[in-house]
């Protein structure tokens, strides 16, 4: 194949194994690597927090880099609150509330946001639903009113629901063509079993089962001020924003909100492979990993450091190995994800068919090395400096700061999380990182989802005993030929 041609010894010997220096000249070259100066102070503006009588928490912070504002109402119910046979209910509800209120039509809502320099979005995720808008800060008060109207008094029109269902059905069909989507859905499903975090997307059946009454009930039960917080970040006056929020949300009535039906994820034993047969695949799309910890776990800092060393940064062991040394893949990465009730670790990459087995071997080799040795010295110091350095970069913008603060309130992190994150990263010891690696990486007990063409890779996967075959709909199938 192509790859073999490139490995041709003729090609290799034709090029002398010496570096080609493309030097224009060395004149004036600064050979000394410059030292880095002392760290400059980094301080976020104070946050103003107020809880309205109906229980809505309002959090405001001023950030004036540009004359804009981010306004996000977060309702603390998401996919996890979907009934098991109605996956996508939270998501479809979030879509439908934007399609009309008592005083504005769907298009008028869009047009009003547009004319204030923004757009309105509402989207559900695992633990929460966010209704957010971003626009010019001179329109901040009107934008708050718009968010309040959509959240509190949507009309939930049948006609608009029909359009949305059609859009969603087509999206569900399209998703099945995406190997990365299939890998993640399969991985998450096997990892979390009957826990709600197993469900990452709606299905044709769940969409067809939804009607206006179910959406209206979801809205009535979950969209309540005592189950929400409002976060405002931008070039605004905090006191004026609090007053505007009181006016806009003051009449919103409290309610008893049901808790999500969390169940224990299944215990993992062994390396469980789920192979999704996708004929014509020229790569294997891999997602593998295990259950880790929830976002508010005190070990988050050491786990994050272990992941940064392993595959959470561009300069990480797995990128050096399977990309920069072996050229197996363009985009290897690992991520530690924490939700409200649980979390997981996941490595993902797309590799050409003929290195599928070799990639898995290297991934587990590096995992086992992390578990056995951890990380210390300059490598660990570098990972700490990376996390310390990117924190101010991430929070330097209004949207970045809003994202960080959103995590604080969704997951109940300490209020001083943004102020203490960097010091806590610095304080992690090598022993803690090594301990974290055993928590973070399941290794012998892992879920391995592979989306690819079985005939092209089967000989490389002989080392795995527990393999389940699935089609793109997620149904179990016999071993393909």
Partner 1 sequence: MRTFAFALCLVVLAPTGSSVSGQAFSVPVVYRKLPNGLRVVVSENHAAPVVVVEVMYRIGFRIEPRNRTGFAHLFEHLMFQGSEHVGKFEHVRIVNENGGTLNGSTRFDHTNYFEVMPSNALELAMWLEADRMRSLKITPENLKNQQDVVSEEVRVNVLNQPYGAFEWLGLPQKANTNWYNAHNFYGDLSDLQAANLDDVKTFFDTYYAPSNAVLVVSGDTTADEVMKLAEKHFGGIPPRALPPRPDIKEPPQTAEKSFEEGDKLARTPALAFGYHLPDRMTKDFFALTLLDPLLVSDESARLYQALIKENQIASDVSGGFNYGLGNNFDYNGPMLYTFRVDYRPDLKGPDVLKVVDKVINAIQEHGITEEELKQAKVNFRSSFLESLESGGGFGRADLLAALALYDDDPNRINTILGDLDKVTTADVQQAAKKYLVPANRTSIDRRPAGGGQ
The alpha carbon of 321 is separated from its chain's Cα centroid by a whole number of angstroms, namely 24
Determine the longest span between alpha carbons in the chain, in angstroms: 79
| CA dist., res. 439 & res. 120, Å (int) | 40
**Of residues 362-381, those binding partner 1 (CB under 8 A):** 378, 381
Among 62, 295, 352, 434, binds partner 1 (CB under 8 A): 352
To the nearest 10°, report the CA torsion of 47, 48, 51, 52.
Answer: -140
Q: Does 418 bind partner 1 (CB under 8 A)?
A: no
* Residue (106 or 200) nearer to partner 1, CB: 106
477 binds partner 1 (CB under 8 A): no
Site track for partner 1 across 74-113, x = CB under 8 A: --------------------------------xx--xx-x
Distances (CA, A) of 37 to 34, 207, 387, 391, 392: 9, 57, 18, 18, 17
Q: Restricting to residues 1-20, which ones interact with partner 1 according to CB under 8 A?
A: 2-3, 5-6, 12, 15-20
Please identify, using beta-carbon distances, which residue of 296 and 399 lies nearer to partner 1.
399
How far apart, in whole angstroms, are the C-alpha atoms of residue 451 and residue 277?
Answer: 6
Q: Are 198 and 80 in contact (CB under 8 A)?
A: no
Of residues 160, 157, 159, 165, the one with CA closest to residue 207: 165
Name the β-bridge partners of 51: 57
Interface residues for partner 1 in 163-192 (CB under 8 A)? 163, 166-167, 170-171, 173-174, 176-179
- Among 396, 427, 431, 477, the residue binding partner 1 under the rule CB under 8 A is 396
Binders of partner 1 in range 286-315 (CB under 8 A): 313-315
Q: Which of 47, 214, 299, 320 touches partner 1 (CB under 8 A)?
A: 320
Q: Which stretch binds partner 1 (CB under 8 A): 243-251, 254-262, 318-326, 433-441?
A: 318-326
Q: Per CB under 8 A, which region of 51-59, 237-245, 395-403, 429-437 contacts partner 1? A: 395-403
Shortest Å distance, C-beta 152 to partner 1: 21
Nearer Cβ to partner 1 (58/351): 351
Phi, then psi, of 59 in degrees rounded to 5: -125, 125
Contact 188, 198 (CB under 8 A): yes
Place of tokens 């499903």: 189
β-pair type (343-352, 129-136): unpaired
Q: Which of 204, 237, 325, 373 binds partner 1 (CB under 8 A)?
A: 325
Rounded to a whole number of angstroms, the distance between the first and last alpha carbons of the chain is 22
CA–chain centroid gap for 293, Å, is 15
Among 55, 193, 255, 392, binds partner 1 (CB under 8 A): 392
Q: Does 331 bind partner 1 (CB under 8 A)?
A: yes
Cβ–Cβ under 8 Å, residues 449 and 276: yes
Q: Which stretch binds partner 1 (CB under 8 A): 73-81, 221-229, 273-281, 294-302?
A: 273-281
What is the nearest approach in angstroms of partner 1 to the Cβ of residue 381? Answer: 8
What residues numbered 21-50 form the site for partner 1, per CB under 8 A? 21-31, 33-42
User: Between helices 398-410 and 417-427, what is the axis angle to 10°?
Assistant: 80
């Amino acid at each position: 194949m192509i790859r073999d041609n490139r490995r041709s010894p003729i090609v290799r010997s034709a090029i002398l194994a010496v570096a080609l220096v493309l030097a224009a000249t060395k004149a004036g070259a600064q050979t000394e690597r410059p030292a880095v100066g002392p760290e400059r102070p980094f301080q976020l503006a104070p946050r103003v927090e107020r809880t309205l009588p109906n229980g809505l928490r309002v959090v405001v912070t001023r950030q004036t880099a540009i004359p804009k504002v981010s306004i996000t109402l977060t309702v603390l119910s998401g996919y996890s609150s979907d009934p098991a046979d109605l996956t996508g209910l939270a998501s479809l509800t979030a879509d439908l509330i934007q399609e009309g209120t008592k005083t504005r039509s769907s298009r008028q809502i869009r047009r009003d946001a547009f004319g204030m320099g923004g757009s309105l979005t509402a989207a559900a995720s695992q633990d929460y639903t966010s209704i957010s808008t971003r626009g010019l800060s001179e329109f901040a008060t009107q934008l708050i009113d718009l968010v309040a109207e959509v959240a509190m008094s949507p009309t939930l029109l049948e006609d608009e629901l029909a359009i949305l269902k059609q859009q969603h059905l087509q999206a569900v069909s399209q998703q099945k063509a995406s190997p990365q989507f299939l890998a993640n859905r399969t991985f998450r499903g096997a990892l979390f079993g009957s826990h709600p975090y197993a469900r990452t997307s709606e299905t044709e059946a769940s969409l067809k089962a939804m009607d206006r009454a179910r959406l209206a009930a979801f809205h009535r039960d979950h969209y309540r001020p005592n189950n929400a917080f409002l976060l405002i970040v931008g070039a605004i006056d905090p006191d004026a924003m609090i007053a505007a929020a009181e006016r806009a949300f003051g009449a919103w009535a409290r309610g008893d909100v049901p808790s999500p039906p969390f169940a224990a994820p299944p215990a993992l034993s062994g390396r469980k492979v789920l192979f999704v047969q996708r004929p014509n695949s020229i790569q294997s799309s891999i997602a593998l990993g295990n259950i880790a910890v929830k976002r508010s776990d005190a070990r988050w800092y050491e786990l994050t450091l272990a992941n940064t060393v392993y595959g959470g940064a561009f300069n990480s062991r797995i990128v050096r190995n399977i990309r920069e040394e072996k050229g197996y893949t363009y985009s290897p990465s690992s991520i530690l994800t924490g939700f409200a009730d649980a979390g997981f670790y996941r490595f993902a990459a797309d590799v050409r068919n003929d290195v599928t087995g070799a990639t898995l071997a290297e991934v587990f080799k590096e995992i086992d090395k992390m578990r056995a040795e951890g990380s210390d010295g300059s490598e660990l110091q570098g990972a700490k400096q990376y996390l310390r350095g990117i924190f101010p970069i991430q929070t330097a913008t209004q949207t970045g700061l809003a994202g960080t603060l959103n995590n604080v309130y969704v997951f109940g992190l300490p209020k001083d999380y943004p102020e203490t994150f960097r010091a806590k990263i610095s304080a992690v010891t090598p022993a803690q990182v090594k301990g974290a690696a055993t928590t973070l990486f399941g290794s012998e007990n892992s879920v391995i989802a592979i989306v690819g063409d079985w005939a092209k890779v089967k000989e490389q996967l002989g080392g795995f005993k527990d393999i389940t075959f699935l089609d793109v709909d997620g149904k179990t199938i016999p071993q393909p030929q």
